[in-house]
Amino acid sequence: MNPFSPLYFIKENKARCLLLMFMILLSWGVYLGGLYATNPRDNWNTTIHYFEKCAVISPAGTKAEDYKEYELFCEALQASEKVKILEMGQEGGLNWDTIMGFESGYSSMTFTTVEDFKTFCQYMNIHCDFKNLKSGSIVMSQRFAKNKNLQLGDSIDKDYAETIYDSYTLDALTEEDGYISYFINEKPVEHPPIVVLGDKINGSKLYDFLYEIQKEHNVSVHDLLKTNIDEQFNTFQMIYSFIILFLSFILAITINAAFVGMYQRRHFEFAVYRAIGISKRQIVGKLIGELLCMDFLALFMGGSIFFLCLYLFNNLVLYPDGKYLCYFHPISLWGLLLCNITILFPLIITRCRQMLQADICEY
């Protein structure tokens, strides 16, 4: 094997290189931290997606003129062929337990009839068994039910959670990805909020249509769910950014110190290279090749171990408890890359400078 091949040095110094690669491998901890930091926000993705396809409208206030404006707005919607309106019942909901130990959630939808819920499911492409549904039923995603340790036929009421305003029975489960729950309660509500489904329009076109009618009638269009959720979880991303910088700094110092010791032992080797006329470009190329090769092998081995452990952790620990960690998030990837660059860039600069100063006359 060519002595200037990056693999030659690694092969001849397996123990030392494996130790150094293990230290680089620890940067996968940053990736894991990113998955944890973004998980509470990711729990809302399905709900946010639904609210991008439909809209919830309610009176802008509690005065008589507010209710009148709301009624006129609803009449304008009913006169249009572009949308379909479903009345909602008394608002309620449940929180779920996050992997960080705190509760999140509460928001839910209450339908006054099973037929309205069927219409909503057809529109959102939600698969559900409707045969046991009735007034007083609650429908949950399978993940949500596991998270709350509920099974089909279980009853929940005000004693179960303060956010439950009546007695319900879990009568159906859906296969939705996320923590979703629906209530069916036929009890009438004065001036109930409505869900607007785009019969011929959806997404931004649906909201543009509603905003146009809203100009004439003062009502509340609940269109800030994503914005509100993002604001609530910005703190986690700020904490994660600090962790990235701190961990990258610590790893960069530690790994550089370890490499200094190893490359000091090679000072004579590079002094000989320079004495026999090996160019600085070739020496730098050898050093960069060795460091990049060790870095790549460390990241590859670390990634293989990491995703295997994450798969086992999800399936054996989190999924049975109604929780999960996703396998990828852009923030985690950027965190890993930033940490790796913070380690590698000064490592290349300092080691190249150190070895190019090697002089055979010193020996």
Q: Is 304 exposed, middle or buried (0-12, 13-18, 19+ CB in 10 A)?
A: exposed
Closest by CA position to 40, among listed 262, 340, 331: 331
pLDDT confidence of 160, banded at 50, 70, 90? Answer: confident
Cα Rg of the chain (Å, integer): 30
Residue 186's identity, in one-letter code, is E
Q: Is the pLDDT of residue 6 over 80?
A: no
Question: How many other C-beta atoms can be found within 10 angstroms of the C-beta atom of residue 114?
Answer: 17
Helix/strand/coil for 187: coil
- pLDDT at position 168: 93
Write out 78-133 in H/E/C secondary structure: HCCCCEEEEEECCCCCCEEECCCCCEEECCCEEECCHHHHHHHHHHHCCCCCCCCC
pLDDT for 363 equals: 59
pLDDT at 165 over 70: yes
What burial letters (b/e) apply to 317-330, b meaning 16+ CB within 10 Å? eeeeebbbbeeebe
Is 80 exceeded by the pLDDT of residue 151?
yes
Give the number of other Cβ atoms within 10 Å of residue 136's Cβ.
16
The pTM score is: 0.86
Which helix (H) or strand (E) segment holds residue 300: the answer is helix 280-313
pLDDT digits (tens, 9 = 90+) for 309-362: 999 999 999 999 999 999 999 999 999 999 899 888 888 888 888 887 877 776
